[in-house]
Structure 1
């Protein structure tokens, strides 16, 4: 196995930051992954994973080996009554996988339509949108142990899912490579239309007319309307997590801003919309350091000039500092920075 050298990664990350990999391998099998890891180990070289490039910030040069898992394939492992276990290899495009399942009437993923990236990254981030998270439809995954080369199985408990979190972002960070993900889906329509934006879109439709296909179409229309396509305006989607704060802190904010957007998390906690905070602080549509806060969705930082990641981080830090000073809330960024 011979890696490619000095590979331009600008087209392989949705923020379109200029970046060069000293060494690059696109692995289409578990054997490829093992060979690439062995190659790097023999040279005492660091290994950096790059999936669909939709949730990462890349430096201008990455020394060591950049490894892109590109395993493909979808199969039904088991079917009992209306329940199906559907396995997807890690290198499948997430949205195309959702479309495939919806077309086959394997229901449960519709609210997660049009999220960029690959299937293998979905459980790492525990992706979520419009009232559904990946963990809601997750059964198990297979991951390659980077130290032993063995494939291990992780069920929901072992993945330690939380809001945009998993064990692979925390305790086991950089120790495993996801090679497949298995979902527990249903042939019986599962309608998740309680999210406010979806409710608004479906006003006037009879309940019987609201199908999983309608939900998928509605989600796609909402995302296209509110979020810029990375193909047109480079971005990584939501740049910040929605912070979870105490009810006491929330009430203090609501006294000053009755229109605050927030959701119940627990009896003593609220999840406040990061986009609302950023917009209320006056950042929506602003350009700083060559980077722009999207004019329609303040949660999205765009890179229209295709500048380096350091410029994006400068704007992100300026926003974080301002939100901390104004609301006493710490904003945490979603995309991971590859060092």
Structure 2
């Protein structure tokens, strides 16, 4: 058996039947063709930043460590930058920022890898993967052929994509390409970014200044997984109908809310509900809710995946009972 504690940011102790690490898609194809692990299901791990391990994994765990950052193409206005699936996401973002290419700066310091990013259309501070996504390459696990997906084929939604729905378990993403702007077209409409820039007297921020502001915000609010086990936001921000939104706004004046593009639906911050229900800073054993960000569940040391999961279910029930709002888990439960 192989310990997975070092391969998930929650720091949960769980074991796998078998474990391999790959640095190319050809390695995995060869492994599959050898038939050596044909008797086991295959579980793919990137940075382990969006999973909660609740039991031993009777599987071959495949750690995706495909490297490489490549400039594929450029014209007068844009560059097409490709990242291997195993590249640390923030290293990819900071590389683009340092080159002066705009589009990913608001996604600074999000944990995980490049390959995992499009699976759930990661987003933060007014930006999402789909905004700059060009294409990705993924291995069809049935045919062992590499296929190319454009944005339409990925069918991006709020923290989801084709790969979390119809294509779940059918593909292994090997690389992702982004179309980034050579012109500084920064997004600073998110309130916290404006506040940080204002305190520094910055009125016309550069790409680097926006990235640094985002990094400062995240570090002030979110725990470092190296210090306290966590997987970032545990729940999705709930989206409700216009009539349901009107009920919430009437019942709770001042509740933060945001329009959903192309829809009459309204999005509310899950952290607001969790904090108002009294869960912020809650701790039971080594499982808890972070004291600075109610959206983040944490492992203070020796919590089991089952204990974290049980806490999340208690919170869901509490929010439903108190506000009539259903929370969805963003983290993948394994």
Per the shorter chain, which TM-score range?
over 0.9
User: TM-score when scaled to structure 1?
Assistant: 0.95
2:305 is the counterpart of 1:309: yes
CA–CA distance in structure 1, aligned partners of residues 325 and 40 of structure 2: 39
CA–CA distance in structure 2, aligned partners of residues 41 and 336 of structure 1: 27
CA–CA distance in structure 2, aligned partners of residues 322 and 39 of structure 1: 50
Q: Which residue of 1 aligns with 2:42?
A: 47
Q: CA deviation at 1:202?
A: 1.8
Q: CA contact under 8 A between 1:40 and 1:65: conserved in structure 2?
A: no
Higher mean Cα deviation, 298-307 or 266-275? 266-275
Q: Which residue of 1 aligns with 2:328?
A: 332
2:212 alignment partner, one of 214, 217, 231: 217
CA–CA distance in structure 2, aligned partners of residues 39 and 275 of structure 1: 47
SS of 2:260's equivalent in the other structure is strand
CA–CA distance in structure 1, aligned partners of residues 34 and 315 of structure 2: 41
2:195 is the counterpart of 1:200: yes
2:167 is the counterpart of 1:172: yes
Render the CA deviation track for 1:215-242: whole Å, top value 9, x for unaligned: 0000000000000010111000000000
Q: CA contact under 8 A between 2:228 and 2:301: conserved in structure 1?
A: no
User: TM-score when scaled to structure 2?
Assistant: 0.96
Structure 1 runs of 4+ off > 6 angstroms? Answer: none
Q: Which residue of 2 aligns with 1:282?
A: 278
Q: Which residue of 2 aligns with 1:269?
A: 265
SS of 1:168's equivalent in the other structure is helix
CA–CA distance in structure 1, aligned partners of residues 278 and 31 of structure 2: 47
2:69 is the counterpart of 1:69: no
CA–CA distance in structure 2, aligned partners of residues 169 and 34 of structure 1: 22
Q: Gaps (5+ residues) in structure 2?
A: none
Q: CA deviation at 1:35?
A: 2.4
Q: CA deviation at 1:255?
A: 2.2
2:69 is the counterpart of 1:58: no
CA–CA distance in structure 2, aligned partners of residues 320 and 74 of structure 1: 40
Q: Gaps (5+ residues) in structure 1?
A: 1-5
SS of 1:25's equivalent in the other structure is strand
Corresponding residue pairs, total: 332
Q: Which residue of 1 aligns with 2:125?
A: 130
Cα distance change on mapping 1:308 and 1:188 into 2, 3 Å: same
2:113 is the counterpart of 1:118: yes
Q: CA deviation at 1:32?
A: 1.0
Q: Which residue of 2 aligns with 1:147?
A: 142
Q: CA deviation at 1:51?
A: 0.8
Q: CA contact under 8 A between 2:47 and 2:112: conserved in structure 1?
A: yes
Q: Which residue of 2 aligns with 1:191?
A: 186
Q: CA deviation at 1:42?
A: 5.9
2:240 alignment partner, one of 204, 229, 245: 245
Q: CA contact under 8 A between 1:36 and 1:67: conserved in structure 2?
A: no
CA–CA distance in structure 2, aligned partners of residues 253 and 39 of structure 1: 57
SS of 1:120's equivalent in the other structure is coil
Q: CA contact under 8 A between 1:25 and 1:36: conserved in structure 2?
A: no
Q: Pairwise CA RMSD of aligned residues?
A: 1.4
